[in-house]
């Protein structure tokens, strides 16, 4: 049972409140066909609390959805009636195809150009659906939820493996190009499994969304943790006690799925059914927005001295990168734009800690549509902007996440942002009148004649540093004046 309260309808929704209760609502359904009285009582108690909290927060629109446990139980309708009386809105019971659809839509909303197979493992069922572009394919549902599988297998891993193989044997996997076979793992049990892998491998960023493991490594890991209650598994204490009985069965299903689809990689998703439902309720224009740009713009509005300056930086760096002749992929361009919007979010901190604080905020922010290498690029570019271009001060954790190409580009952008901050004092209105031009002698920062007073030793040094980063010489000049300093 989970209550999630969103601040508003937005492309990158911000959670005001999020609470879950593992009521075990699906426990016993496979054996008895009914929701257990004890589980129902726990669920109603949780919903009673959720209703009080929602009223206190001032929630203006409420959606209640139920999935496999409720739809499969003979007393599910009675439970739904009680929930509707308590909450005061209709309960929507998703069938298997609908659950697959919304899980896939949640992945589409949370990833940049998602392509592959989405698998959503809940307590009662597993949904599989192909994603490619902005529209989910037709989904399928299987009785392979964690609770159901554990009960059906009587707690035995070997039996769970046979059950999983038997249930999936006739599934026709969508045809996919080798190298493009990504499996998106949705659901709390699989996220717990991913977190266990992350901790065991001392991964530097504790952000589960878009955490990626090569399929061969994930299969070996799943086999190593397929032990009852994770007995003897290293770092098992990072998994909550309530999840430890289920994670080994989640590992069984994930291993079998990755083998059967001949996956290249598994990527863990923090977005699923709820986010898919929310995404469907957005206006088409908002759905089409880039979630990283939207989240960066919101942080800029909350934290920057002059948010409009971020948009000026986008246009200015567009011009600068074009003048440099730097090729950019579509993804690199959007990352650069996001970094421009984030460039001034640390200004209220003590000057010695602005870079460090900005890096921490960006690397751990609730961004979607962004892989971990891209997250490192954003954090590093803004860190360089505040802290300088020396390599020694940059977090080793961030360095581990980079691709070399993004590392170089983060430093180039950071150097450009340092020049822009001196020209404009990070305030809007100045930067659009300042040009960067390449000539046979190198790069020239050209100030308009009415702003010639901006020239000075510090600006010349900083622009010279930027020019050296891109392999040339730099000078500062005034429009209409051939002399440069």
> Do residue 86 and residue 100 come from a single domain?
no
Looking at the domain assignment, is residue 314 inside a domain? yes
pLDDT at 481: 57
Domain endpoint, select from 31, 60, 93:
93
pLDDT at 177: 86
> Do residue 176 and residue 202 come from a single domain?
yes
Per the structure, the complete domain to which residue 389 belongs is given by 291-419
pLDDT at 238: 95
Angle at 91 between CA 129 and CA 268, to 5 degrees: 35
CB within 8 A of 351, min separation 6: which ones? none
Q: What is the CATH number of the domain that holds 61?
A: 3.30.420.40
> Do residue 118 and residue 163 come from a single domain?
yes
> Do residue 101 and residue 230 come from a single domain?
yes
Looking at the domain assignment, is residue 53 inside a domain? yes
> Do residue 389 and residue 310 come from a single domain?
yes
Nearest partner of 104 among 182, 25, 1, judged by Cα: 182
- pLDDT tens-digit series, residues 393-415: 788 888 889 889 999 999 999 99
**Cα separation of 447 and 423, whole Å?**
9
Looking at the domain assignment, is residue 427 inside a domain? no
> Do residue 135 and residue 253 come from a single domain?
yes
CB distance 43 to 36 below 8 Å: no
**Cα separation of 266 and 82, whole Å?**
39
Looking at the domain assignment, is residue 428 inside a domain? no
> Do residue 101 and residue 120 come from a single domain?
yes
Please list the ranges in the chain whose pLDDT falls under 70: 480-485
Nearest partner of 103 among 123, 128, 124, 70, judged by Cα: 128
Q: What is the CATH number of the domain that holds 363?
A: 1.10.3210.10
**Cα separation of 269 and 440, whole Å?**
49
pTM of the prediction? Answer: 0.91
End-to-end CA distance of the chain: 66
> Do residue 301 and residue 204 come from a single domain?
no
- pLDDT tens-digit series, residues 347-389: 999 999 999 999 999 999 889 999 999 999 999 999 999 998 8
Q: What is the CATH number of the domain that holds 234?
A: 3.30.420.150
Looking at the domain assignment, is residue 425 inside a domain? no
Domain endpoint, select from 74, 93, 112:
93
Domain endpoint, select from 227, 242, 277:
277
pLDDT at 484: 45
> Do residue 74 and residue 105 come from a single domain?
no
> Do residue 295 and residue 354 come from a single domain?
yes
Looking at the domain assignment, is residue 149 inside a domain? yes
pLDDT at 409: 95
Total structural domains within the chain: 4
Looking at the domain assignment, is residue 384 inside a domain? yes
Looking at the domain assignment, is residue 286 inside a domain? no
> Do residue 299 and residue 369 come from a single domain?
yes
> Do residue 119 and residue 172 come from a single domain?
yes
């Amino acid at each position: 049972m989970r209550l999630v309260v969103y601040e508003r309808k937005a492309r990158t929704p911000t959670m005001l409140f999020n609470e879950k209760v593992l009521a075990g609502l699906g426990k016993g359904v496979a054996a008895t066909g009914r929701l257990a009285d004890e589980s129902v009582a726990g669920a109603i108690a949780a919903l009673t609390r959720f209703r009080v909290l929602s009223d206190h927060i001032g929630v203006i629109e409420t959606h209640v959805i139920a999935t496999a446990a409720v739809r499969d139980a003979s007393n599910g309708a009675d439970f739904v009636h009680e929930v509707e009386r308590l909450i005061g809105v209709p309960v929507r019971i998703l069938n298997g195809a609908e659950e697959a659809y919304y899980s896939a839509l949640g992945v589409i909303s949370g990833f940049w150009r998602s392509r592959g197979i989405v698998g959503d493992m809940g307590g009662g069922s597993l949904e599989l659906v192909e994603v490619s572009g902005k529209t989910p394919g037709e989904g399928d549902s299987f009785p392979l939820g964690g609770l159901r599988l554990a009960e059906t297998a009587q707690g035995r891993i070997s039996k769970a493996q046979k059950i999983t193989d038997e249930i999936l044997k006739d599934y026709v996997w969508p045809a996919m190009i080798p190298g493009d076979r990504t499996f998106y793992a949705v659901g709390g049990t699989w996220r717990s499994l991913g977190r266990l892998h992350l901790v065991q491998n001392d991964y530097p960023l504790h952000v589960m969304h878009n955490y990626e493991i090569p399929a061969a490594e994930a299969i070996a890991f799943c086999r190593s943790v397929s032990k009852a209650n994770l007995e003897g598994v290293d770092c098992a204490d990072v998994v909550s006690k309530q999840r430890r009985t289920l994670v080994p069965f989640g590992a069984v299903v994930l291993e079998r799925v990755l083998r059967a689809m001949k996956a290249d990689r598994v990527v863990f998703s923090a977005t699923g059914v709820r986010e898919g439902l929310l995404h469907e309720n957005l206006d088409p224009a908002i759905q089409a927005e880039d979630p990283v740009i939207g989240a960066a713009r919101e942080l800029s509005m909350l934290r920057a001295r002059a948010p409009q300056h971020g948009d000026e930086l986008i246009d200015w760096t567009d011009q600068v990168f074009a003048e440099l002749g730097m090729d950019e992929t579509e993804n690199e361009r959007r990352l650069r734009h996001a970094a421009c919007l984030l460039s001034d979010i640390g200004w209220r901190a003590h000057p010695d800690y602005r870079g460090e604080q900005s890096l921490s905020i960006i690397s751990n922010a609730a961004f979607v549509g962004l892989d971990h290498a891209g997250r490192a690029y954003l954090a590093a570019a803004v860190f360089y902007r505040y802290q300088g271009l020396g390599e020694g001060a940059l977090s080793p954790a961030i360095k581990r996440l980079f691709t070399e190409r993004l590392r170089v580009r983060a430093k180039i952008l950071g150097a450009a942002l340092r020049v822009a901050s001196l020209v404009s004092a990070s305030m809007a209105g100045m930067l659009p009148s300042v040009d960067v031009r390449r000539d046979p002698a190198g790069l020239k920062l050209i100030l308009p004649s009415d702003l010639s007073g901006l020239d000075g030793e510090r600006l010349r040094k900083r622009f010279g540093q930027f020019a050296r980063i891109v392999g040339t010489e730099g000078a500062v000049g005034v429009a209409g004046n051939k002399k440069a300093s």
